Structures are given as C-alpha cells and as structure tokens.
Structure 1
C-alpha cells in the first residue's frame, strides 16, 4: 500500500469520518496516522533511525523525513539518529550541539504486516482520544444526577448506558430491594469519575445522601434558587431518611416548601427512592434545639451537650424511649448522623436515679471530710455545692443563705474544708517528692501538689519533662480512627484542666526554660489577629 496521489486525500477523508464517528478532534486522528506511518517507515529503513511523517492538512500529502541530531563526540551513541559536529559540517554551515539536520526520504511501500501495525496504532490513538473526551465530559458532571438506560447486570452490579459511555452502579450503591432489567430507565447520582487504563470509570450511586439532596433541588425551586439550603442529610437507604433545611427568607417556611402542596414535592422524591420515608426537619444553629427537632417524632425532656467530647445526652419520658430509639436504633442513628454528634438516650427515671446517686455521693463526701451529719451535708448539696474547694473558698455570704447557718457556723465549715484540703496537699507533696519530683516542677505556678503527684506517677518529674508534653496529653481529648471515636485520657483530666489551660501551662513552662521567645509569640499572635480581621473584612 503505497501513499500515492490517488489516496492522499483519502487519508484526510478517513480522519474526518473517524473523528465524526467518535466525536473527537480530526487533528488527533491525523496525528495518529502520522505516528503509525512513521512506525511503519522505521521497520523499512531501520528502527535506529529517527523517521518522522507529516501529513499536509489541506492536500493530504505525507512527507517522510529523517532527522539527525548534532551531539558532542563523547555523547555519540546512535549513528543513525545522531552525528558529531565534524560530521555535521558536511551537511550544514556552523553546526552546534543540539542542531538537527532534516532530509526527506522516499515514502515507504507498506506491506500487509506494516499496514496492519499502522491500523492498530491509529485505533489505539483514537481510543485514547475517545477516553480523554469521555473523562473530560463526565468529570464536569460529577456530583450531579444523570439519566441512563440499563444495559445488563453483572454479579449484582448494574451497567448503565449514559449516552457517550458506560457507567457502573455497584450492588452496595443500590437501594436494597431494587432490581432492574435491560432497557429500564434509571436515575443515579454520579459519585466518582476515575481515569484508568481501560478508560474512564464512572461510578453511580442511589444510596448516597447527595442523591437525595439533588432530587430535592430538582423538585423544589427554592432550593435550586438558593432561598432554601439543605444543611444535612442522613439516610438509611430504602427505609428512612432525615433532611435538615433552612430558609434565608423569613416569609418562606423551608419545611412546607419541601413538602409541597398536598405533599406533591416530597412524594416525587419518595417515589424515586422506592418509598423511603423522609422526615424534613428545620435546621437550627443551636445544637440542642436542632437535636430535639432531629429526634422527631419522639418528645425530648432535657438535653445536655458536651461540646469537647462531641457527645450529647438526651432525656426522654419513659414511654417515649422506644420511639426515640426507633426500630433497630434507626431514629437515633439517623439523628446522630444528621447532627454529627454521639447521642446517649436515657429515660427520665434513669436520669433521676443517676442524679440521686450523685446527690448521695456528694452528701457522703461532705459527711466524711467535714464531719457533718447527713441532714447538714444534704443542705450543702441542695444549695449546689459539689466539692470541698467550693465550700472552702466561696464568699461567706453564699454559705449564710443556707437555713440554720450563721456566721460562726460558716467560718467553722470553711476552716474544716481548708484544713482537710491542706492536709491532702501536704500528703500529695510528700508522695510527689518520694516519686522524684523536683522543685522546678513543684514550684511551677499553676500546678497543685495533687497535679504534681499525678505527673510524677507518669514519669514527669522536672519542668523540662512537663514542657515537652502536648496539651491533649494533659487535658485529654478524642481521636477518630476509621469513623470510630475513642477517648484519650489526660494526666490532669481528673482536675478539670481544659485544653486551653493545658496549652497555657505548657507554653509558660517553655518560656521559663527559654525555649520560646515571648516577644516572637506575641508578634505571631498579633499576625493571627490581623489575618482574622482581614478575613472578616473580605467576607
């Protein structure tokens, strides 16, 4: 098959036809032809040669050229594609390293094998171009809903025709009881698009929370226009879901807008999700209020939020417990996903029993340490005193409001409390010294003798040891691994040292040791404040 004038135009016509069929740039097809012809020419002239082919985009004429590069004498390796400066002087004037000498060579006569090889190169290049086009098209549509037609099912995975390519709906991304037949129409969420050697892989989902969000965006114009925003979605696919919405227009009820006239809007989403029940909840910045809404239809009596632990305790009436938890824990699990908090649910009777236990423990503490009778100790607890430090160092007037307590009684209570605390401190200090705690740590402002004892038990005996601690090692914290939160116990956690207090203590120790320059620290803090102010102005 020689490249003659008769078939030169056929090259361009073929390139145009292939480009139209595959919906790619004709230039890419011509480049593939050039590469395939060059490869065939190399098999004719020798693989060591640098043979290049250029096809004229107007006439279709293919020009074959041989390229030789000028290199230094010591770098000469390939005599067919390289030549030294001295050799190059025979062909060009004033040659320099890096120059190229190009000469035209006769077109090759492609044999059957060479023609087949050229065809494979063209097909490969066309396939690569087609894959790039598909990837570029679908990567822009990631995070949106797409309509497709079911082609077949393989091992539970559904292969979907999405127009210019195929996508896969894995079986774990299907709503449980769904089944499809070839040519069924299907609506899915494009969860991911990956570039792989076998071509772009488009992964679909019908269980993703984002799928529900996009469906509501299609059904509720206010969401599409940005008047209503979906703040959070939690799903148990095919069974139940909760969606939190907020309105930026006071005249529009976000829940009512999502439900629609006679439930038409939400029903359209429910039908698409195979009857999945949807609770539409008003979002609130106040976390406890939002949680009360999220636990609907159950009623909530009391909410206690622990922001540091990202946990929340919810107290419900005894008869509401099963409703709050839901079937197989579904209601509380969805509420937890919606609020991003761990939720502990207890009944009012359990809460009452816990508070009674705490009351008895504090009563016993005051009876044992202050030598009080049970009635007097209960009076202290009822007035809100929880520990000896509060009794010892509170203003005297706060003790005088207790029935039956006069000034002399209040003085006696505080004296007993202070003496007990001083004795505890003395014992803790002796224990710390026995453990090897040094004066630099004992005399450090901010640490009580009990704290020093706890640190010494863990091997922290000097101020240098203390300065190397991380704040979370002292105050404790939470670690999330694979979605599971675990508690990190702090050395000083039992003394109610917060993370911020731990940071200040460690930083003070480092300044005293000369590890940190306080002026640099102040300058850094100023820069942070300025940056925050600039961000605020931008907003």
Structure 2
C-alpha cells in the first residue's frame, strides 16, 4: 500500500482481487481495514483499540481510537472509568465507547509491507473458507481437474478456482500424471486445515469405482440397480455386488453392457483394473458363494458368532478360489465382511474322518462301549459325552439298532462319567489350593479353575489383583472376552469394599 494511492483506487483494487480470488468485495475490504488497523496500532500503541473503516462508496479511510467505558479499569490503554467518561460525554453508559478520530497514517516502506502481508494472509483465509463452504457438501462426488504441480509425489489438482490434494497413496499404483494433464478423482473428505488444501481426492477409494458405474449405467443413476458393496485391489482387481429392484432387469448384465461396453469404460479409467460384478444376496452363504466367483463352491459352513465361514471347493478349483497371492479370497472377504477359510473336498473329507475317529475314540473310552455303538452316536450328531448325558433316552432309542434299555444305559454311563470327572477335577483344584470363594463366583468351569491354580491364582485377592488381559492370557482368548474378564475381576474385588465398610463401622462404634 502507498499513501499516494487515491482513495477511490482502493475500491478498484478490492474489485480486482475479489474477481481474481472468487471471494466477495467486502471480504477484501475487510482485509484492508485490518491491515490499516495493524499499522495504526504500530504507530499509536499495540494495547490501544485502533479501528479503521473504508467507506464502501467513496473509498475514504477513517481511523479512530475506541475506548470502552467501564466501572473498574483493567486495561488503561483501552478502558476509561465511567465517572471520567461522563465528563466527556454526559449521557454515556457503561459498556459504550468513546470514539476519537485519528489523523491519517503516512505509510512508510515497512508499514506498507506489513499491511500487504496482512491483506494477503486474510485474503487466503477467506479463500480457504470459501473453498470449504463450496465443497463441504460435495463429499462423495467425482470431479474433473487439472494437475497444477507435484509435491513429493502428491498431486495438487486445480478444480475451477479451488485447489485439491491427491496423495500418492490415493493414486492407482503405477499411474503417473504430468502437469497440466486432466484427471478424474473422487472427493472423499473436505475439512478445515490451518494451511494448504482442504479438499482431498482419491482414485483408489472403493466408492470411486461405484461412482464411475453410476455415471456409465443409467439404471444405477435412476436407483433401479443398487451397488451394495465394493472391494478393490487398486489397479489390479475389484469385486462389486449389485442387486436390482426390478425383477425384469438383470443387474449384472446391465452393469456389463452390450459386449462389455459399460464395464470397459470403467476399466479404462482405472488403468485396466479387472472387475468382477456379482449378484448380491441377503443370504450370507449365497453371497459368499457369489463373491468367490469364478471359483465353484460345493459346501459352505457358517459360524455367525465368530464371523467366519468355511468354504469347500473341488480340488482343481483351489488355486482359482484363493487367487494369485490370495487376491480372490481376500476381495471376497472384504466384499462380504466375513472371514473366509478355503478347504478342498479332499482336505475336508480327511478332516471329517479325523474328527470322527477322535470323537468315536473318546466315547469308546469314556462310556466303555465298542466302536460300532460309539460310531453310531457320533454319526447321529452326539459330539461329546456332555451332549449324551443331557439327552432324552427316547431320542437315543430312535437310532437304528438301539432300544430304550440301551439308551438308558448309555445316558446313565455318561452321567456317571461326568460325576467322576467333576470329582476328579474338584480334588485336583483343592490340591492346587484354589479356594471355595473363587468357585462360589460361579464364573469358571472346573477346567478353568485348574488353569487358575496352575498359574498361582488361588484366592479372591489373587484374582482381584489381575488385569483383564492377564486373566484372558491364563484362560485363553476363546474362553472369555475383555468385558467378561473385567466383570469377573470386579466381582472378586467386591469383598475389598465390604471389608472397608466393616472396618469403618467398627471404628465408629469405638
């Protein structure tokens, strides 16, 4: 800024900056006012409340000092006591200001440079706020931009008058862009930052693929076909699950297009990334089978509590189901949100035979029966002796070759075995020194009590001193979760508080 600049010229400068930066004229003038205020405070004192106003019509600059009227003065440079203020302005009230006009400032070189820096900084702040307001509701859109420059592998993309950041890890591997080259990307985040770009772009985000299909497939744009899930290995392969709200429209065929025209348009944009489009299903098992395409699946076993699914495939389909470096099964797992284990039919058969032998052998030893009876029980679904002990004799008698007498005898032997096992475990627990107080918590199985005793946890105090992760380590991660472990430890600590209450009561009685 220069004192030789005529006042109307300030308005011309403000108009030019506003057009260039795409911000309002008032915001530029406000930045100028703050620059003049800063120069005024440098001349008259930084503690004083100096304010500048630029007339929006004439460009006239008015500089003034504002002094607040208060009951008790805390800042002498910007406040005045009420009893003195009424001598200057008789009707003035507490909280109002005395305004003293100041002479114009003669800007020197340093003051002008400082004012310029303030204006530039404020204009940048207004520009960033304008960008945020323009783009905060555009998260999830695809935008076209031009590469402005590259910084440490990250691309700064010009979108109209705004600037966005496309990080190197958000690019598709092995793709390169040059300055001034056009790029299409997905807005995945817009946030306020103290400096630099606020708009963050991605070409590797799963939603980028979904948005590209929405642009290529009218049925998706119209809401007839819905994309339910997307999983990507950017630049290599992707899987997308789709469903149709119209039974007459094939969702997979509509996304592929005539001779693959629609899917090829997306593949070209994604640098040749192969895309598997599979039908979505509300049945988890069916969805998993679809997601593993092109591999064939012969059997699916779901474990809903663990969130795992075991898939059996023909021996010659194993490599296809797993994919190169596990890519196919990994993408299928991401798509379905299930942990998937792949087994061949041979492996599954061998495992079943081994499990059958193990369970049969256990029943032979525990019940003192021959292999035929034990084998029949396992074949009918009795996995262990506990299930047999609590089964109804009538249910067992329905097995071919069994009658009521045999069924009752088997149940009785199972019950006797469990009683002996319980007595043996209880004796072992007592020998280890695990007290009855821990047993009375009714939180542990006999086997758990043995594990506690072997690790030196024998009293309530020992248990109460443990942390949840220590208890889980002793009993095994499959035995209990962190929430349950914390609840058990808190139960063990209850007697501490009870003892404190007793001691407090005894002291009061004394």
- Give the TM-score normalised by structure 1: 0.81
What is the distance in 1 between the residues matched to 2:288 and 2:281? 9
Gap change, CA 1:160 and 1:47, over 3 Å in 2:
closer
| Matching residue of 1:140 | 137
Report deviation, 1:196: 2.8
Q: Deviation string for 1:36-66 (max 9, x for gaps)?
A: 2222233333444322111222222222211
| 1:490 maps to 2:489 | no
Gap change, CA 1:433 and 1:7, over 3 Å in 2:
same
Report deviation, 1:275: 1.5
Residue pair 1:3, 1:62 contacting (<8 A) in 2 also: no
Alignment length, in residue pairs? 491
What SS does the corresponding residue of 2:157 show, helix, strand or coil? strand
What is the distance in 1 between the residues matched to 2:193 and 2:443? 59
What is the distance in 1 between the residues matched to 2:88 and 2:233? 77
Report deviation, 1:302: 0.7
What SS does the corresponding residue of 2:204 show, helix, strand or coil? coil
Alignment of 1:161-172 (within 5 A): 161-172=158-169
What SS does the corresponding residue of 1:132 show, helix, strand or coil? helix
Report deviation, 1:398: 2.6
Residue pair 1:426, 1:449 contacting (<8 A) in 2 also: no
What SS does the corresponding residue of 1:212 show, helix, strand or coil? helix
Residue pair 2:41, 2:48 contacting (<8 A) in 1 also: yes
Gap change, CA 1:93 and 1:277, over 3 Å in 2:
same
Alignment of 1:296-311 (within 5 A): 296-311=293-308
Alignment of 1:271-310 (within 5 A): 271-310=268-307
Report deviation, 1:71: 3.7
Report deviation, 1:434: 4.2
Report deviation, 1:457: 5.9
Alignment of 1:46-61 (within 5 A): 46-61=45-60
| Matching residue of 1:432 | 429
Report deviation, 1:132: 1.6
Residue pair 1:51, 1:66 contacting (<8 A) in 2 also: yes
| Matching residue of 1:268 | 265
Q: 1:89 aligns with which of 86, 89, 94?
A: 86
Alignment of 1:19-98 (within 5 A): 19-73=18-72, 75-78=73-76, 80-93=77-90, 97-98=94-95
Moved more, 445-454 or 416-425: 445-454
Report deviation, 1:439: 5.1
Q: 1:183 aligns with which of 180, 188, 195?
A: 180
Q: 1:120 aligns with which of 109, 117, 121?
A: 117
Gap change, CA 1:268 and 1:97, over 3 Å in 2:
same
Q: 2:411 aligns with which of 411, 414, 422?
A: 414
Moved more, 282-291 or 172-181: 172-181
Alignment of 1:347-362 (within 5 A): 347-362=344-359
Q: 1:104 aligns with which of 101, 104, 127?
A: 101
Gap change, CA 1:489 and 1:392, over 3 Å in 2:
closer
| Matching residue of 1:536 | none
| 1:230 maps to 2:227 | yes
Q: 1:315 aligns with which of 309, 312, 315?
A: 312
Q: Deviation string for 1:207-245 (max 9, x for gaps)?
A: 111110110111112212222211111111112110001
What is the distance in 1 between the residues matched to 2:462 and 2:153? 61
Gap change, CA 1:306 and 1:64, over 3 Å in 2:
same
Gap change, CA 1:86 and 1:240, over 3 Å in 2:
same
| Matching residue of 1:256 | 253
Gap change, CA 1:294 and 1:394, over 3 Å in 2:
same
Residue pair 1:2, 1:108 contacting (<8 A) in 2 also: no
Gap change, CA 1:85 and 1:316, over 3 Å in 2:
same
Report deviation, 1:124: 2.0
| Matching residue of 1:333 | 330
| Matching residue of 2:237 | 240
Report deviation, 1:2: 8.4
Residue pair 1:143, 1:191 contacting (<8 A) in 2 also: yes
Q: Deviation string for 1:256-279 (max 9, x for gaps)?
A: 111122221111111111221111
Report deviation, 1:373: 2.1
Alignment of 1:504-519 (within 5 A): none
Gap change, CA 1:441 and 1:17, over 3 Å in 2:
same
Residue pair 1:134, 1:200 contacting (<8 A) in 2 also: no
| 1:346 maps to 2:343 | yes
Residue pair 2:164, 2:197 contacting (<8 A) in 1 also: no
Gap change, CA 1:446 and 1:49, over 3 Å in 2:
closer
Residue pair 2:163, 2:197 contacting (<8 A) in 1 also: no
Residue pair 1:70, 1:98 contacting (<8 A) in 2 also: yes
